A and B are shown apart, each in its own frame.
Chain A
């Protein structure tokens, strides 16, 4: 589904942040992306999300060469990728329901056509009773679940989560992890960027470890 071959990235004239990164993310796979802070986890996620272009190497996204993807094609391809940001990035002036429905709304879909789906998804992530509340009123865990729901509403083929348990207590972290595992069982590939070893030990999954700009994979 997604393939990296000898990918390198540098910001401007600086040193290479990522070096010779090679891996393959198959359909329905589940993996952790870990490594110490500042080793380039978020940068690698941005490459996966196509908000950065590599300075060298080859990236194939859903069978297409990243270098040949035009600016117009990007939004359409991005809809196959769900992203959960470390800082949630919910819009404070929209309710939880409106935030989750945003990806469908920006596609120009009529609200009646997705109302039931959004409501069902919000109930699935445990926010059924917080649907019409503005994000500043939500707790950290609720925001995280709202962000996950927004990433899933378009039924993406892969979900990228950047430190999804970074702002929540261990109990909630386990609940969120179970949610992501359940999602994976339903067919979505999942990449979780984290440096929480406790979280990784709960699941027997592939680990991609970044260190000094290089990637090592433990299957």
Chain B
């Protein structure tokens, strides 16, 4: 049964080829001659090469997008935390806490690089403590420290040492926290994450390059007889290399473009999904971790660059394979 089907499909293939040739013959007679390209159309290995290139480009672009996302998100975390400082004032019996808060705020506002300072009111403080102390908390009954949130210009940071000294002189129970410890830890974490991402991207790109090289060589191995015939009919090496390079550059570009476009579609789809889920709990969780899923212009440019490099790599591999093959048959 199987052999009969195989035989039938084989016959169909031959029939289709003959029909193709006859149609070409008729077209030639009616429309004038149009020569077939010297490099034969893609065979199974050629089509497999295009598919492999598409898949590897897709994965490389996804990795690049993920690294871009992590880098941007890490940068956002850093700037958000570095944009704020807190002045904490501990209550004391002889201290008018409200006056101290106002004084601390005024001191903070007097420094260059401070965009604003606001006192966290009693209700807001009670809300902050609600998860631990319950909703019926009377804040006046407890010696709860109070806060002044200072908003900082990330481009021009204020002189924290001077601010700390002035606060210690004027409001002795005040403590200034510029979140340096947190920022330092986050910077280290973000740098580590981005470094790991770049290492993964480098591995992915190396794997892609090797896969593209081997797939191209595999596809080229079926064309040995064409190179040989061209060589024996007097074609010069640059001519032969040019013919194959052009053919495989287009094939590589086709595969890489498909992979790159698929990756962009994935990013656009995620970006759209996250923008639609802005107010939902899962959307907030995701955006807190990954930002808004937009890979930005640099991400898209990176995808374009990967597509371009893979197409060039395919063409370069083809060129070297042809030249090596010619050298081999020359000896």
Contact = CB atoms under 8 A, between A and B. Distances in A.
Interface stretch (A32-40, A133-141, A203-211): A133-141
A123 interface: no
B230 to A, nearest CB: 6
Given A91-B229, A92-B40, 18 more contacts: A49-B232, A51-B329, A52-B331, A75-B236, A75-B237, A76-B234, A91-B225, A93-B40, A94-B38, A102-B230, A102-B233, A105-B35, A106-B38, A111-B35, A132-B21, A133-B21, A136-B17, A137-B18
Contact of B228 (A52, A89, A106, A134): A89
B86 to A, nearest CB: 75
A89 B229 CA distance: 7
Interface of B: 17-18, 21, 24-25, 28-29, 33, 35-36, 38, 40-41, 225-226, 228-237, 239-240, 329-331
Instruction: Indicate the member of A95, A115, A150 with the most B CB atoms within 10 Å.
Output: A95
Interface string A103-135: 101111001000100000000000000001110
Nearest to A153: B233
Interface in A148-202: 150, 154
B320 to A, nearest CB: 16
B38 A95 contact: no
Interface of A: 49, 51-53, 71-72, 74-76, 78-79, 83, 85, 89-95, 98, 101-103, 105-108, 111, 115, 132-134, 136-137, 150, 154
Contact of B40 (A78, A91, A137, A154): A91
Given A111-B33, A137-B18, A89 B25 contact: no
Nearest to B21: A134
A71 B330 CA distance: 9
Contact of B331 (A53, A89, A132): A53
Interface residues of chain B: helix, strand, loop or mixed (majority): helix
Contact of A51 (B24, B230, B330): B330
22 contacts: A51-B232, A51-B329, A53-B331, A71-B330, A74-B330, A75-B237, A76-B234, A78-B234, A89-B225, A89-B228, A90-B229, A91-B225, A91-B226, A92-B40, A94-B36, A98-B35, A98-B36, A102-B38, A103-B234, A108-B239, A111-B35, A132-B25
B21 A137 contact: yes
Nearest to A77: B234
